[in-house]
Amino acid sequence: MNVLVIEDDPAIGRSLQQGFSEAGHHCVWEQNGISGYETALSRQADAIVLDLLLPGESGWDVLQKLRAAGVQAPIILLTALGSVDDRVKGLKLGADDYLVKPFDFAELMARLEAVQRRTGNKPSMILEAAGLTLDLTTRRVTSNDTEKEIDLTPIEFSLLELLMRYAGQVVTRKMLCEHVWGFNWDGTTNVIEVHINRLRGKLDEDRDQSIIKTVRGRGYALPAS
């Protein structure tokens, strides 16, 4: 599951990012309303956890704008505002659930799963991009042109998964490191280049040029089609 967290409190943001990572989910964390809204529009999230008291733009405004823009991902409000009026307002503006701080991460996960069951918004287990199909259930990768299965190591599979989730966008080395090795990754990103080169060797075997593009100073990108 891809989760977008929009939360300005560093302790809560880090805790959520670590919790989702340990639960096997990918988490993007934004710390203000403006960047959170832009990320929600540019990156497909399976669920959004949204604080209400945000710098830049309030969570109320972000919630209203996301629904007006057609974003259908389940949204859970996570906030210190716990009055009945605040809860009713949030639900009327389009939130799917409301959790008051302090909270337990296990309850947040349970609420996210319940919301997804109610809305039928289940994370896709098949990713397609750049002429490739990646099956998260069977952990198989195949070339759409040759229908040949591509044998990848677990690390290579994880790298490709993130690149395919954000196909057409730049994925930073830090994002790749945290996706593969977890939130507490504090090592050099040079190791990414080694694994990316090995991944390229396997993906480009029947191609004239590499499909993973290096974006100098930023990271890597995979074409959307």
Give domain limits for the chain.
2-119, 126-221
pLDDT for 67 = 93
Higher-pLDDT residue of 48 and 44 is 48
Phi/psi of residue 98, nearest 5 degrees: -145, 120
User: Are 2-119 and 126-221 equal in CATH topology?
Assistant: no
State the fold for domain 2-119. Rossmann fold (3.40.50)
- The one-character DSSP state at 79 is E
Average pLDDT over residues 166-188: 75
Whether the pLDDT of residue 92 is over 60: the answer is yes
Amino acid 187: pLDDT: 55
**CA contacts within 13 A on the Cβ side of 69:** 14
Average pLDDT over residues 83-87: 87
Residue 18 has which token pair?
């670590």
Confidence class of residue 199 from pLDDT cuts 50, 70 and 90? very high
Give pLDDT, residue 183.
54
Instruction: For residues 6-11, give the mean pLDDT.
Output: 95
Read off the DSSP letter of residue 124.
P
Query: Does the pLDDT value for residue 80 go beyond 90?
Result: no
Q: What is the rounded average pLDDT for all residues in the chain? A: 87
Span 7-14, average pLDDT? 94
pLDDT at 156: 94
The CATH fold assigned to 126-221 is: Arc Repressor Mutant, subunit A (1.10.10)
pLDDT tens-digit profile of 113-141? 888 878 766 656 788 888 999 988 788 99
**Beta strand spans in the chain (E):** 2-6, 26-30, 47-50, 75-79, 97-100, 126-129, 132-135, 140-143, 149-150, 170-172, 213-215, 219-221
